[in-house]
Chain A
């Protein structure tokens, strides 16, 4: 018998009597749906992200130009930013060729207030490695796409079939050395969030 067969028959011989699967719905009632933007901003700031509230995408350009060094490689999936970032060439790079990306500007359609995360799928990343290999990460999210909890987030995500997706909550970090929090481990050293609040 193959190992697969051995393992599965051992499992079937030993698994207990079927018990019921609980419903996740009752948990949704506890969510605080009030002022999601404020909630999100507070938590995202606490986890080390820099949060900007803006009215439209053009405001992004000015802030980026003020905060990031000229002459460094900037890449983006956002077509409107093609005058300050490469929005095309990087797509045909090998993943390792993205090692010199200083700033990646991406867009997300879903953010979670309880933990300051954004949900971003592979088509929104351009290349999977981009949000991790970049030295600095910027994400643009419309404030109306902020949900309260992870249960709400998975309701929105549903059973979509993206090959890769990730919740990203703030810049990379570690506290492995004597529990001292260090921002900037192997992923981006910083994360900036631009939350578009239309009037």
Chain B
């Protein structure tokens, strides 16, 4: 299902780069987080074994996921949790709405769930007269700004504290000109505490769902998921089906990897294991497909479903740091977003796998060893074969093929190009040549290596 063409990554990144000092600020902030990650992981000599173990657990899980989901469901039901299944985003939203309607309320508090971003839950509920307040501080900030989050772990990493101060002044009535993070956080604490205490329904995400026990784990630093859930009469948890893991002991592996990879902390402040509803409370879990079963069937791309949403790939990506999450025009941005999104809508997200130099840094910070940069390459082939490319690009590639398939033509073209560059430099050194905008062209040498070799070494 395609939508109206939006600006692509290159255009949006171009806009982002018009403010170089802001790019530097964004880049340095995220690089610093990468460095914190490095410091934390280097304290564990077993780090690479942890990654390999986690990767193999997830691969095994995906190879038996039907059974694990059924086991999870059976155990969750026995625990008193109501289990729902949603084939797509629309159905997920309808299920959540249905639960809210059934309880006769028109508002809900929500903690971080990238799945609900993917499903555009907030917009759907708003259209149906349900107010949703995001309780994660970063999410609340972007909610007030009417923007999507730009990073899956650090939703407002693109916002400066002065801008946040302005938002709070406009929407929460704080004095103008505030920018101290302590004061702003205290303001949010007071504002959201009132929300937690008055909302009957809370929705959370799911970091891990354990098949063996029918429990699910939610990780936060702020405590907002727990505040919402334990004060609510109805707790709804939304999960992509790939979040299931086989056994409780596997949580040891994943919880050791997750936060070190994300922020450099040894663990989040809260890793809450929800198994049964509080007596008198209703607990629901919504298991969502929304294209995941299709990705599961793609041999080259199914390993993207191992993702534990740590964001390390974004922090390390030199392109992400210099283009910002919004340049990816998708709920999940950065390298992982670029291999997940084309499965959802290949036309709309055809640009994302090309927003990369294939440097490979992402694959090597990924705690579950997703071969992200290899998948980016493979998506490029799929996207071009499916026709989501331009006639110009195809024509120039065919030209390149023709030239490079024949030594004679290649050498003639090379020589011609060098002659043009030497005698008519204005032909390439102009505004039509994107290279030339901010870089000089290489100096054309008098002879190519091939010409030098033939002249100096004869025909050996």
Contact = CB atoms under 8 A, between A and B. Distances in A.
Given A149-B252, A163-B275, A187-B222, A27 B53 contact: yes
Interface string A139-158: 00000000001110111010
A3 B86 contact: yes
Contacts of A169: 266-271
B253 interface: yes
Main SS of chain B's interface residues?
helix
Contact of A3 (B49, B91, B299): B91
A127 B271 CA distance: 17
Interface string A104-123: 00000000101111000000
A37 B65 CA distance: 40
Nearest to B56: A22
SS class, residues of chain A in contact with chain B: loop
Contacts of B411: none
A184 B87 contact: no
A166 to B, nearest CB: 4
A154 B265 CA distance: 20
A177 B86 CA distance: 35
A179 B32 contact: yes
Interface string A170-184: 111111111110101
A129 B272 CA distance: 12
A14 interface: yes
Interface-central residue, A11, A19, A180, A187, by most chain B CB under 10 Å? A11
A186 B224 contact: yes
Contacts of A27: 46, 49-50, 53, 252-253
A34 to B, nearest CB: 15
Interface in B230-258: 230-231, 241, 246, 248-253, 255-256
Contact of A186 (B193, B251, B268): B193
A30 B44 contact: yes
A162 B274 CA distance: 9
Interface residues of B, number: 93
Contacts of B213: 159, 161
B161 interface: yes
Contacts of A43: 266
Contacts, number: 252
B161 A180 contact: yes
Given A12-B66, A95-B230, A172 B60 contact: no
Contact of A174 (B137, B160, B274, B294): B137
B43 to A, nearest CB: 9
Interface string A1-44: 01110111011111111111110101100100000000000010
Contact of B274 (A133, A164, A185): A164
Contact of B275 (A22, A161, A173): A161
A13 to B, nearest CB: 7
A51 to B, nearest CB: 15
Given A115-B266, A175-B263, A185 B32 contact: no
Given A7-B241, A15-B64, A20-B60, A177 B161 contact: yes
A150 B60 contact: no
Nearest to A43: B266
Most buried by A among B226, B275, B287: B226
A24 B250 contact: yes
Contacts of B271: 117, 166-167, 169
Contacts of A3: 85-87, 91
B93 interface: no
A11 B61 CA distance: 12
A168 interface: yes
Contact of A11 (B184, B197, B275, B293): B293
A73 interface: no
16 contacts: A7-B241, A18-B63, A19-B56, A95-B278, A159-B212, A163-B275, A163-B276, A167-B267, A172-B221, A174-B221, A175-B221, A178-B160, A179-B32, A184-B185, A185-B189, A185-B222
Interface of A: 2-4, 6-8, 10-22, 24, 26-27, 30, 43, 47, 95-96, 99, 112, 114-117, 127-129, 132-133, 149-151, 153-155, 157, 159, 161-180, 182, 184-188
Interface of B: 29, 32-33, 44-46, 49-50, 52-53, 56-57, 59-60, 62-66, 69-70, 79, 85-87, 91, 135-138, 141, 154-157, 159-161, 164, 181-182, 184-186, 188-189, 192-193, 196-197, 212-213, 221-224, 226-227, 230-231, 241, 246, 248-253, 255-256, 263, 265-278, 287, 289, 293-294, 296-297, 299, 302
